Structure formats: C-alpha cells, structure tokens
C-alpha cells in the first residue's frame, strides 16, 4: 500500500520522525511541512529543497493551519514537545504544545474537510503498568505530564471521529530510533546518546540498573505504519501500538552497540529518573490485523542502518 498524488501536511516535519515521513512521501505526493523549529532541525530537511513546501509556523496558530489545510487529504500530526523529562520541568509548555496544539490541528482539519488525521501518540500512556506486553485494551496510567498530553490527544481524536466524522487514527509509538535523532540534546533518546558516547570513547550514563526494557522500533517501520494508518479502512477511531513486540534491556542495547562498533564500553550507573517506566514492550496484534503492519527491522539491523547514515 502506498500514497500517491495526495496533498499531505506533516506537522513537526523538521523533527526526527516527521522529516523521515516527509522524505518518504515527497516524491509521489505534494507534501507541506509545518514546524516552528523549537525542536526541529534544518539539517533534517537537507536534500528536500524543492521537493516539499516548508512553512515555519506554530500549530497553535489556527489561522495558519486553516490556510495550509485547504484541499489537504491527510495530516500526519507529529508536532509535539517530545520529552518526558522536559514535561516534568515545564508541564505548562508541554500542555500548550501537545494538548492545545493537537486540538487546534483537529479543529482546522475538521473545518477544512481533511480526509484523515494520523496522530503521533506514545507508549508512555501505559505508564508503569505491570502487564506485559502492553495491549491497547490495558488501562492507561500516565506517569508524566507528557504522557498525559498524549492520552488527551488520543481522546480528542476519538471524539472528533465520533462527533464530527473526522477520520482520526492514533499511533502509540514505542521507542523509535534512526537517522535524524539529535544526540546533543539534553533530552536526547537513549540510542543516539549511547552511540555518541561509544564513538567518543566516553562512558555512557544509564539511569537505573540497566535491566529496564524497551521496545526499540526503527523509524522506517514507523513511517510505514503512518502510511498504512492513512489507508486502512478499519483504523479510524482506534489507538494502535507501533513497536516490534520484542523487549531489549538497556544493558543488552549497549552491548549490541559496542559489538557493532567493536568497542569495549563500561557504563556509569546512576539513579532512575522520575517519570521513567521500568518495562515496556508492545503487543502489535492490532497493528497487524487492522493495518497489515509487520516490522521489517530487527534492532541490530536498524542500528547498522543508523550508523551507516552517520558515516555518509
């Protein structure tokens, strides 16, 4: 399944996931990227000049959204302040970007007759529930303001689908990794931080004992899930896990990175961070049944692709 000859808006399209989506879709579709560049990076859009329209703007500017959503088929809503830790420090800013911004996107999409909105949610909505793997039927228990905003966004999507007839799909991303992640950010994801530490010969920092687990999903699989979510007739109104179904401890992750790079690495272990979940792995049964989604990348495959892109 593919998207062709469609008008598509990617909010947050200068960010890590958004830029990968824009890059995948721009050759066969008319793609507009909207980003206020608060966390997006110009280098993520390198090579897309002339292949996309870029609008520097904030998703809370509903007049701008209504202008840019005219005659649009799909809105892939990736824009957000994505950090759990940042949300602990500044919950009001996270709420403004993630909750108010998502509501503005949905209102503008409804008003402009957009065919479907695909919303980037998060596995963080599950919190530290002991049930593994995480199933969409599990009761959410968010542990951070960031997770709360994603759960609220899901509810808004469902309500707009049921009340206004705006087709909305929420994708609960697990731990996405791949080219375009910023290792220099204070709130960078663990994989780019580990890779940078190993390459520089420094000791990576592990919060906790390193036995906490995550479901690491390569960004190309997430891009494909977004395309499938646009096209699947059974997806509107649902929240769907996007992961691999495999749990990897941080110690195993670091060992895998060290093996690929042929480096001997010893981590520094420190106290767990507030809001961090102990264990997380996706049940992807619903994604497989509704979207036809099957991940193509194993963790080691994705890491090798990521490192290859860094060396080019």
Q: What is the pLDDT of residues 191-203, one digit of tens each?
A: 998 998 888 888 8
In this prediction, residues 145-160 reach a mean pLDDT of: 98
DSSP 49: B
Structure confidence at residue 277 (pLDDT): 81
Task: Choose between 242 and 84: higher pLDDT.
Answer: 242
Sheet holding 167-173, edge to edge: 53-56, 30-35, 7-11, 74-77, 116-122, 167-173, 239-242
Structure confidence at residue 16 (pLDDT): 94
- Pairwise CA distance, residues 253 & 175, whole Å: 12
Which positions ≥6 away from 278 have C-beta within 8 Å? 128, 212, 213
- Pairwise CA distance, residues 116 & 274, whole Å: 36
Structure confidence at residue 296 (pLDDT): 97
Structure confidence at residue 83 (pLDDT): 86
Q: Which of 75-79, 80-84, 183-187 has the lowest mean pLDDT?
A: 183-187
Residue 157 pLDDT > 60: yes
Instruction: Kindly report the number of other CB atoms within 10 A of residue 186's CB atom.
Output: 9
1 band by pLDDT with thresholds 50, 70 and 90 = low
**Residues taking part in catalysis:** 146
CA distances from 84 to 81, 144, 199, 263, 274 (A): 9, 6, 26, 30, 9
Contacts 24+ apart (CB under 8 A), 268-272: 268/203, 268/204, 268/205, 268/206, 269/206, 269/208, 269/209, 269/210, 270/205, 270/206, 270/207, 271/207, 271/208, 272/207, 272/208, 272/212
Residue 213 pLDDT > 70: yes
- Pairwise CA distance, residues 118 & 172, whole Å: 11
Structure confidence at residue 283 (pLDDT): 98
- Pairwise CA distance, residues 130 & 61, whole Å: 40
Could you tell me the pTM of the whole model?
A: 0.94
Instruction: Kindly report the number of other CB atoms within 10 A of residue 245's CB atom.
Output: 18
Residue 275 pLDDT > 90: no
Structure confidence at residue 59 (pLDDT): 98
In this prediction, residues 150-161 reach a mean pLDDT of: 98
Structure confidence at residue 187 (pLDDT): 55
Q: Tell me the percentage of the chain whose pLDDT exceeds 70.
A: 97
**Mean confidence (pLDDT) of the chain:** 94
Enumerate domains of the chain plus CATH numbers: 7-176+216-244+282-297 (3.40.50.720)
Structure confidence at residue 2 (pLDDT): 79
Structure confidence at residue 165 (pLDDT): 98
């Amino acid at each position: 399944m593919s998207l062709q000859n469609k008008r598509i808006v990617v909010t947050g399209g200068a960010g890590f996931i958004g830029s990968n989506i824009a890059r995948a879709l721009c050759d066969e579709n008319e793609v507009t990227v909207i980003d206020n560049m608060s966390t997006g990076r110009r280098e993520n859009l390198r090579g897309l000049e002339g292949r996309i329209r870029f609008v520097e703007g904030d998703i809370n500017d509903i007049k701008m959204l209504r202008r840019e959503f005219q005659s649009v088929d799909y809105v892939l809503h990736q824009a957000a302040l994505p950090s759990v830790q940042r949300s602990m420090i500044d919950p009001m800013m996270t709420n403004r970007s993630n909750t108010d911004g998502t509501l503005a996107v949905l209102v503008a999409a409804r008003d402009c007759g957009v065919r479907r909105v695909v919303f980037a949610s998060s596995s963080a909505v599950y919190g530290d529930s002991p049930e593994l793997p995480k199933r969409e039927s599990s009761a959410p228990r968010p542990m951070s303001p960031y997770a709360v905003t994603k759960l609220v966004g899901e509810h808004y999507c469902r309500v707009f689908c049921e009340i206004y007839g705006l087709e909305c799909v929420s994708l609960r991303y697990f731990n996405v990794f791949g080219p375009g992640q910023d290792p220099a950010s204070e709130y960078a994801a663990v994989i780019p931080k580990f890779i940078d530490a190993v390459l520089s010969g420094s000791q990576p920092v592990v919060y906790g004992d390193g036995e906490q687990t995550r479901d690491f999903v390569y960004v190309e699989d997430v891009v494909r899930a977004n395309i499938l979510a646009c096209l699947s007739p059974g997806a509107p109104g649902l929240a769907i896990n996007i992961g691999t179904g495999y749990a990897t401890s941080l110690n195993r992750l670091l060992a895998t990175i060290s093996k690929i790079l042929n480096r001997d690495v010893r981590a520094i272990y420190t106290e767990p961070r507030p809001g961090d979940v102990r264990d997380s792995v996706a049940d992807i049964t619903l994604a497989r049944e509704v979207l036809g989604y099957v991940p193509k990348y194993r963790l080691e495959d994705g890491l090798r692709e990521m490192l290859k892109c860094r060396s080019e």
